[in-house]
Amino acid sequence: MKHARWIVAILVIAGLLLGATQLFGQDPYKVFNSYRAMAKAGKAYTATPLKGKVIGFANIFGTLPFCISVEENIKKHLRLAGGDLGKGWISMDNQYDSVIGLKNADIMLSRKPHFFIEFQADAKVNNIVAAKFSAAKIPLLAIDVGIPGSPFMGVDNWKVALMGGREMAKLIKEKWGGWDGVDMVALAQMPAGGDVTMLRSEGFAAALAEEFGIDVKDPKIVRFDGGMGQTEQAKAAMDDVLAANPDAKRIAVTSINEQTMAGIIAAMQGAGRWDPADKIVITLGVDELGQSQLREGLSDAGIAFFPERYGEYVIPAVCATLQGAPVPAYIFVENEVITKANIDKWYPKK
């Protein structure tokens, strides 16, 4: 009987796989992947799939270097796909503000685009947005912060945090000899982004625990709310962390992006706790600000998200969806560890 049940289960799975193959072919994401190939080559998309379509986009904070790179690349690929940046493009700025983000979503809904690309920081707001656009039958794609029921394009937060944490562990060994030489590891988090965004810092703790045999809740690891991605909020939060830990001299730190890291650096400098021998700074993103931080010696390493390539993922997903073709539920960007030694390989000086 036991073997019979296994045989039945195997036959059921085989039937499901056969059905999927017959429905979608060998590659269920064939349409998406074909557009991805065109996007990576920087070529015009076959048959101008976005001709006559109206695409809406709300940026997380339109004036930040990372966000500027994201929007410019999306616009580039919209043009390659036959889209019109005049009549076929609606752009808004959520300004890292939940209230503004929700208002923008309502305005976007009233404009009735064929597709809405949402880059918005508050996970709770994204749940509301999901319900409204689902009712209106307007498809969505989420960038970096998930939206229920919609494809996600952006960072694999756990992966990049592990990469950053391992780089931090390596530098701790090189500079301070190991965990005993550490006074504090400060993890600036963004709880408003939801559980998935929290992985962007928790992975650092996991990597350090793996490397040094400590607990992820080791008292030297200090977690704090660094705000909604902005410099001033992060500085104020780090001021409080430093005041609460006056004896911490050797400090390793990371945060969700380079804007918050700028605030953390300012707090450490202002407190007189900025000796190159006593700090390790790992950033996330490596946008133009992050590149400057590396070149100026303000940070030791960064995990690149390549925001200047986001359109290569976003627009193929938009095109495939509007054709009724499936796209992956999670579309992750590629990442690299960037240091002062290799930055010119990835980002040659202009």
Q: What is the pLDDT of residues 159-184, one digit of tens each?
A: 999 999 999 999 999 999 999 999 99
Please give the residue that has the higher pLDDT: either 160 or 26.
160
Instruction: Tell me the pLDDT band of 337, cut-offs 50, 70 and 90.
Output: very high
Contact 104, 58 (CB under 8 A): yes
CATH code of the domain made up of 157-304: 3.40.50.2300
Mean pLDDT of 14-39: 73
Instruction: Tell me the pLDDT band of 25, cut-offs 50, 70 and 90.
Output: low
> What's the per-residue H, E or C state across the chain?
CHHHHHHHHHHHHHHHHHHHHHHHCCCCCHHHHHHHHHHHHCCCCCCCCCCCCCEEEEECCCCCHHHHHHHHHHHHHHHHCCCCCCCCEEEEECCCCHHHHHHHHHHHHHHCCCEEEECCCCHHHHHHHHHHHHHCCCCEEEECCCCCCCCEEECCHHHHHHHHHHHHHHHHHHHHCCHHHCCEEEEEECHHHCHHHHHHHHHHHHHHHHHHCCCCCCCCEEEEECCCCCHHHHHHHHHHHHHHCCCCCCEEEECCCHHHHHHHHHHHHHCCCCCHHHEEEEEEECCHHHHHHHHCCCCCEEEECCHHHCHHHHHHHHHHHHCCCCCCCEEECCCEEECCCCHHHHCCCC
Mean pLDDT of 71-100: 98
Q: What residues does each domain of the chain span?
A: 26-155+308-334, 157-304
Which residue has tokens 């709880």? 191
The pLDDT value recorded for residue 350 is 80
The pLDDT value recorded for residue 14 is 43
Quickly name the fold that domain 26-155+308-334 has. Answer: Rossmann fold (3.40.50)
The pLDDT value recorded for residue 289 is 97
Q: 276-306: per-residue pLDDT in tens?
A: 999 999 999 999 999 999 999 999 999 999 9
Type of residue at 297: G
Q: 52-85: per-residue pLDDT in tens?
A: 999 999 999 999 999 999 999 999 999 999 999 9
Portion of the chain with pLDDT greater than 70, in percent: 93
Question: Residue 3: pLDDT above 50?
Answer: no
The pLDDT value recorded for residue 229 is 86
The reply to whether domains 26-155+308-334 and 157-304 share a CATH topology is yes
